[in-house]
């Protein structure tokens, strides 16, 4: 295989494209986990977001309203997680699993209920309708990628440079101390969890109306769990998670580039999962979650 500059550019471009949905979901995980709520339901929320965006686009033919559809679904799933995890003090892993089953199963059921066809939705208005090579078109065509990039920096600054961001991290590290300092632990956890759900759903919308123009069963294909891996790999910081997502995206990209080479696709696909296990085992430095991550708060 000949390696030249254009191939490198192509691989890098595909890596960015492939990492974008991971970045959304990963940032969603970072936000809620920094506030102390583990979200292993990212996969299901992405499916719900992807499907809702398609439904909204199908009926309105408006990209903004399609995104709004994903936002509503993400907020609803985030609210369910928040209610059970915070108000009910339920086991967050169990609730997350429920969200995965509900999101994926709900979208599959919805395909039959809304479109009358199982398997895949019809084609809907998507970002691919924005054609043209002028700067404005390019900005709009890849809007979800630019927004993801913007979110990475915004969230990093928010969590580490703003007062509310520090409050969020305080709630995730030491909720009782945060409460003693006058921080409303419950409210911060609710907002962070719901916002995290919205971000994950946008990642799903990117898959359905950003990359292609329909929803199909199995579309999310484990990306929610790779995002979960990226949260750990990126050590719970937005920059770290974005880097991990890019790294994982690079693997998907290489996989496409190496299709004709003798590297089995499955073995490349496995790498993010294997690396996460290695990272968790502490073989590449220490990974440490926020101290109160996953622990229900009892005032």
Question: What minimum distance in Å lies between the beta carbon of 28 and another protein?
Answer: 16
Q: How far apart are CA 178 and CA 251, in angstroms?
A: 40
Segment contacting another protein by CB under 8 A, of 1-9, 93-101, 180-188, 189-197: 93-101
Question: What minimum distance in Å lies between the beta carbon of 3 and another protein?
Answer: 25
| DSSP 3-state of 64 | helix
Segment contacting another protein by CB under 8 A, of 129-137, 141-149, 194-202, 278-286: 278-286
Question: What minimum distance in Å lies between the beta carbon of 84 and another protein?
Answer: 6
- Please report whether residue 284 would count as binding another protein according to CB under 8 A: no
- Please report whether residue 147 would count as binding another protein according to CB under 8 A: no
- Please report whether residue 252 would count as binding another protein according to CB under 8 A: no
Q: Which two tokens stand for residue 20?
A: 């974008």
- Please report whether residue 108 would count as binding another protein according to CB under 8 A: yes
**Residue of 61, 176, 187, 288 interacting with another protein (CB under 8 A):** 288
Q: Which residue's CB is nearer to another protein, number 112 or number 162?
A: 112
Question: What minimum distance in Å lies between the beta carbon of 72 and another protein?
Answer: 16
| Residues in binding contact with another protein, number by CB under 8 A | 54
Q: How far apart are CA 69 and CA 240, in angstroms?
A: 29
**Residue of 139, 181, 184, 264 interacting with another protein (CB under 8 A):** 264
- Please report whether residue 273 would count as binding another protein according to CB under 8 A: yes
Q: What is the DSSP string of 215-257?
A: -BTT-STTHHHHHHHHHHHTTT-HHHHHHHHHHHHHHHHHHHH
Residue 120: what are its φ and ψ, rounded to 5°?
-155, 150
Instruction: For Cα atoms 190, 195, 196, give the angle at the middle one, nearest 5 degrees.
Output: 100
Helices (H), the chain: 5-34, 42-60, 63-82, 92-115, 135-141, 143-161, 163-173, 175-180, 185-205, 223-233, 238-257, 265-280
- Please report whether residue 97 would count as binding another protein according to CB under 8 A: yes
- Among all chains, which residue has been given the structure tokens 């769990």? 225
Q: Which two tokens stand for residue 60?
A: 């309105």
- Please report whether residue 197 would count as binding another protein according to CB under 8 A: no
Q: How far apart are CA 129 and CA 5, in angstroms?
A: 29
Task: Considering only residues 33 through 92, tell me which ones interact with another protein, judged by CB under 8 A.
Answer: 38, 40, 44, 80, 84, 88-92
Please report, as ranges, the residues that interact with another protein according to CB under 8 A.
38, 40, 44, 80, 84, 88-95, 97-102, 104-106, 108-109, 111-113, 118, 222, 225, 228-229, 232, 264, 266-267, 269-270, 273-274, 276-277, 280-282, 287-289, 291, 293-296, 298
């Amino acid at each position: 295989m000949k390696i030249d500059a254009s191939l490198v550019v192509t691989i890098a471009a595909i890596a960015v494209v492939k990492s974008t949905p991971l970045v959304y979901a990963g940032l969603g995980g970072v936000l809620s986990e920094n506030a102390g709520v583990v979200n292993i339901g990212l996969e299901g929320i992405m499916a719900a977001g992807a499907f809702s965006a398609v439904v909204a686009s199908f009926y309105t033919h408006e990209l903004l309203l399609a995104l709004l559809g994903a936002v509503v679904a993400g907020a609803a799933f985030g609210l369910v997680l928040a209610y059970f995890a915070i108000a009910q003090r339920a086991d967050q892993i169990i609730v997350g699993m429920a969200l995965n089953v509900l999101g994926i199963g709900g979208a599959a059921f919805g395909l039959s209920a809304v479109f009358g066809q199982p398997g895949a939705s019809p084609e809907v208005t998507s970002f691919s309708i924005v054609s043209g090579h002028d700067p404005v078109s390019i900005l709009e065509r890849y809007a979800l990628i630019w927004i993801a990039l913007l979110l990475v920096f915004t969230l990093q600054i928010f969590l580490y440079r703003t007062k509310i961001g520090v409050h969020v991290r305080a709630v995730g590290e030491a909720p009782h101390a945060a409460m003693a300092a006058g921080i409303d632990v419950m409210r911060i956890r609710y907002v962070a969890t719901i916002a995290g759900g919205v971000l994950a759903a946008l990642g799903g919308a990117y898959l359905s109306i950003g990359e292609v123009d329909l929803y199909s069963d199995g579309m999310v294909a484990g990306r929610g769990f790779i995002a979960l891996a990226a949260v750990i790999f990126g050590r719970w910081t937005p920059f770290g998670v974005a880097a991990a997502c890019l790294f994982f995206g690079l693997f998907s990209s290489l996989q496409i580039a190496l299709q004709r080479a003798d590297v089995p696709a499955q073995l490349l696909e496995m790498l993010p999962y294997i690396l996460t296990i290695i990272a968790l085992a502490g073989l590449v430095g220490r990974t440490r979650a926020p101290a109160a991550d996953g622990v229900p708060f009892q005032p």
